[in-house]
Structure 1
Amino acid sequence: ERPYVCEFCHHAFTQKANLNMHLRTHTGEKPFQCHLCGKTFRTQASLDKHNRTHTGERPFSCEFCDQRFTEKGPLLRHIASRHQEGRPHFCQICGKTFKGN
């Protein structure tokens, strides 16, 4: 059941917090601000990701080589293209690679 419905686009959510976060896409509200450069973001997660541009942090490391990444998606693409020969398709959720899509 998805009782929380967006008044703008009618997308429904199971939790009110998710609806509130979604509403920011319509209202333009960006309550999370970088203390270093002033850039604002809709979510804390987006601010956290942005902060890595200032700190140089690369928390996602390849298990096959010494490469590190700021986000999980580029790490998974790296593994699929460099270490999973013949298995170019991958799931961004679980990280598994496949021969076909």
Structure 2
Amino acid sequence: MTTNILGDITRAIVDGQAQVTVLMKPNADPHSFGISAQQAAEVERSGLIVYNGLGLEEGILHTVRAPEQSGVPALPVGERVDPISYTSDDAAGKPGPHFWTDPAACAPR
């Protein structure tokens, strides 16, 4: 998992049947977060990578996408929910990556 929120959701779903590792520590800024070489190697050995997928964790997106392109299963959660769209600024009309702020939007499509 890239973020603590996705880690919490994943832990609730797997209910102790799989190890869940979260890359970002509490209070880390997902927009500028970077990971260590050790964490990158851990991602490459993952059984599943769960990430936002809507540009929230752009600082580590290359680290997520490389193992995905090598065959590691990945789940871009934002692509599976109905996120709120931005209404102003340069991002108007684009899906907002903070989809967990609207529980109704988190229902899978």
TM-score, normalising length: structure 1: 0.23
Structure whose alpha-carbon radius of gyration is higher: 1
Q: Which structure: greater strand fraction?
A: 1
**RCO higher in 1 or 2 (8 Å CA, sep ≥ 6)?**
2
